[in-house]
Amino acid sequence: MSNVRPFAQTALGRAVTRWFPVLILLVLAGCSLPIHVNHVDTQTAYAIQTRNALSAGEPSEASKKLLRRQGLLDRWDTNSTAVLAELHRGLDPDVNIERLFVLSELSFLNAERTGDRAYYLASAVYAWALLFPSDATSPRLPETDDRLRLAYDLYNHALAKGFASGGPNGEIRLASGRYRLPFGTLNLRLDPAGLVWGGYRLEHLVPTTTLEVEGLRNRYHNSGLGAPLAASLSPDKVRTVVGSERLGPKTQVPVTALMRLEDPRTHLRTGQIDGKLEVFAANTTDNVSVDGKPQPLESDPTAALAYQIGQSSLYEMELSGFLKGGIFKKLLPRNRTSDGLFTFHPYRKGLIPIVLVHGTASSPARWAELINELEGDPFMRKRYQIWMFTYDTGNPIGYSAGRLRAALTKTMQEFDPTSQDTALRNMVVIGHSQGGLLTKLTSIDSGDRFWNILSSKPLSELKIDAESRELIQNSMFYTPLPFVKRVIFIATPHHGALLASGRIGALAAKLVTLPFNLFGKAADLLTLKGDEKLVAHLKNPPTAVDNMNPENPGLQTLASIPVPRQRPAHSIIAVKGDGPIAEGDDGVVAYRSAHIDEAVSEKVVRWDHSCQAQP
Lowest mean pLDDT among 264-273, 471-480, 496-505: 496-505
Q: Band of the pLDDT at 454, cuts 50, 70, 90?
A: confident
Q: Is the pLDDT of residue 526 over 90?
A: no
- 143-173 burial: b if 16+ Cβ within 10 Å, else e: eeeebeebbbbbbbbbbbbbbeeeeeebbbe
Residue 545 has a pLDDT of 81
Residue 394's nearest CA partner among 361, 437, 442, 441 is 361
Backbone dihedral region for residue 184 (phi beyond 0: left; psi -120 to 50: alpha; all else: beta) = left
Higher pLDDT, 117 or 540: 117
Dist. CA 319–CA 325, nearest whole Å: 9
pLDDT, residue 1, reads 47
Let me know how long the chain is.
615
Task: Give the phi and the psi of residue 509 in degrees, each rounded to 5.
Answer: -65, -35
Query: What is the structure's pLDDT at 615?
Result: 81
Q: Is 11 helix (H, G, I), strand (E, B) or coil?
A: helix
Single out the residue of 137, 78, 79, 129 nearest to residue 102, CA to CA: 129
Going 151 to 154 to 157 to 163, the CA torsion angle's sign is negative
Please state, in angstroms and rounded to a whole number, the distance separating the CA atoms of residues 340 and 348: 19
**At a CB cut-off of 8 Å and minimum separation 6, what does 536 contact?**
none
Share of the chain above pLDDT 70, in %: 84
Residue 378: left if φ>0, alpha if ψ -120 to 50, beta else—which one?
Answer: alpha
Is the pLDDT at 547 greater than 90? The verdict is no
For residue 510, the model assigns a pLDDT of 41
- Range of lowest pLDDT (137-146, 256-265, 595-604): 137-146
Q: Which residues contact 155 (CB under 8 A, 6 or more apart)?
A: 104, 123, 124, 127, 128, 131, 225
Between 530 and 270, the higher pLDDT residue: 270
The residues that bridge with 231 in the sheet, in sequence order, are 253
Helix, strand, or coil here: 611? helix
Q: Which residue has the higher pLDDT, 472 or 67?
A: 67
Q: Is residue 81 predicted with pLDDT exceeding 80?
A: yes
DSSP state of 269: T
On the question of pLDDT at 500 being above 60, the answer is: no
Amino acid code (one letter) for 513? T
Q: Which helix (H) or strand (E) holds 174?
A: none
The mean pLDDT of 475-494, rounded to a whole number, is 96
Q: For residue 72, what is the DSSP state? A: -
* Residues whose CB falls within 8 Å of the CB of residue 64, separated by 6 or more in sequence, listed in order: 73
For residue range 119-145, what is the model confidence (pLDDT) as tens digits? 999 999 999 999 999 887 888 899 999
At residue 184, the pLDDT reads 97
| pLDDT score of 3 more than 60 | no
pLDDT value at residue 327 = 54
Give the model's pLDDT for residue 310. Answer: 85
**Reported confidence tier of residue 516, pLDDT bands at 50, 70, 90:** very low
Whether 201 contacts 233, CB under 8 Å: yes
User: 352: helix, coil or strand?
Assistant: strand
Q: What is the dihedral of CA 65, 69, 74, 77, to 10 degrees?
A: -50
pTM for the predicted model, two decimal places: 0.87
Q: Let me know: does 164 contact 170? Beta carbons within 8 Å.
A: yes
- Give the C-alpha separation, 572 to 337, whole Å: 31
Average pLDDT in the 165-187 region? 93
- Name the more confident of 433 and 92: 433
> What's the pLDDT score for residue 25?
60
Cα–Cα distance measured from residue 84 to residue 67, given in angstroms and rounded to the nearest whole number: 10
At residue 357, the pLDDT reads 97
Question: In this predicted structure, which of 284-293, 336-345, 567-576 has the lowest mean pLDDT?
Answer: 336-345
**Integer distance in angstroms from the first to the last C-alpha of the chain?**
108
pLDDT of residue 321: 47
CATH superfamily of the 313-460+467-514+543-613 domain:
Alpha/Beta hydrolase fold, catalytic domain (3.40.50.1820)
Residue 469: band (very low, low, confident or very high) from pLDDT cuts 50, 70, 90: confident
Please enumerate, as own/partner, the contacts of 54-57 that have beta carbons within 8 Å and a separation of 24 or more.
54/108, 54/150, 54/153, 54/154, 54/157, 57/109, 57/112
- Give yes or no for residue 598 having a pLDDT over 90: yes
Report which of residues 94 and 218 the model is more confident about: 218
The rounded distance, in Å, linking the Cα atoms of 74 and 68 is 8
Q: Which amino acid is at 72?
A: L
CB 94 within 8 A of CB 102: no
Give the long-range contacts of residues 213-217, CB within 8 A, separation 24 or more. Answer: 213/302, 213/303, 213/306, 214/306, 215/306, 215/368, 216/302, 216/305, 216/306, 216/368, 216/369, 216/372, 217/369, 217/372
How far apart are alpha carbons 329 and 327 in whole angstroms? 6
| Weakest-pLDDT range from 50-54, 145-149, 416-420, 472-476 | 472-476
The per-residue pLDDT for 531 is 66
Residue of 334 and 229 predicted with greater confidence: 229
List, as one string, the DSSP characters of 283-323: TT-SEEEETTEEEEBPB-HHHHHHHHHHHS-HHHHHHHHHH
For residue 562, pLDDT beyond 90: yes
Percent of the chain with pLDDT over 90: 64
Q: Which residue has the higher pLDDT, 15 or 108?
A: 108
Residue 13, pLDDT above cutoff 70: no
Residue 505 pLDDT class (50, 70, 90 cuts): very low
Cα torsion at 251, 252, 254, 259 (round to 10°)? 120
What span, in angstroms and rounded, lies between the C-alpha atoms of 538 and 532?
10
- Summarize the confidence of residues 279-286 as an average pLDDT: 92
- The larger pLDDT score, comparing residue 312 to residue 559, is at 559
For residue 314, the model assigns a pLDDT of: 58
221 has a pLDDT exceeding 70: yes
* Residues 6 or more apart whose Cβ sits within 8 Å of residue 63: 52, 101, 102, 105, 106
Give the domain ranges of the chain. 51-304, 313-460+467-514+543-613
Measured between alpha carbons, how far is 371 from 343 in angstroms, rounded to an integer? 12
Inform me whether the pLDDT recorded for 290 exceeds 80.
yes
CB 128 within 8 A of CB 259: yes
pLDDT band with cut points at 50, 70 and 90 for residue 6: low
Stretch 340-366: mean pLDDT, rounded?
93
Give pLDDT, residue 514.
41
Mean pLDDT for all residues in the chain = 87
H or E element at residue 552? none
Q: What pLDDT score was predicted for residue 338?
A: 80
CB 404 within 8 A of CB 389: yes
Distance (Å, whole) CA 74 – CA 88:
18
Query: How many distinct helices (H) and strands (E) make up the chain?
Result: 25, 16
Asked if residue 172 lies in contact with residue 226, where contact means CB atoms within 8 angstroms, the answer is no
Calculate mean pLDDT across residues 47-71. 94
* pLDDT top residue among 526 and 498: 498
Exposed, middle or buried by CB within 10 Å (0-12, 13-18, 19+), for 291? exposed
Beta-sheet pairing, 184-190 with 272-281:
parallel
Q: What is the pLDDT of residue 358?
A: 95
For the cut 60, the answer to whether the pLDDT of residue 579 exceeds it is yes
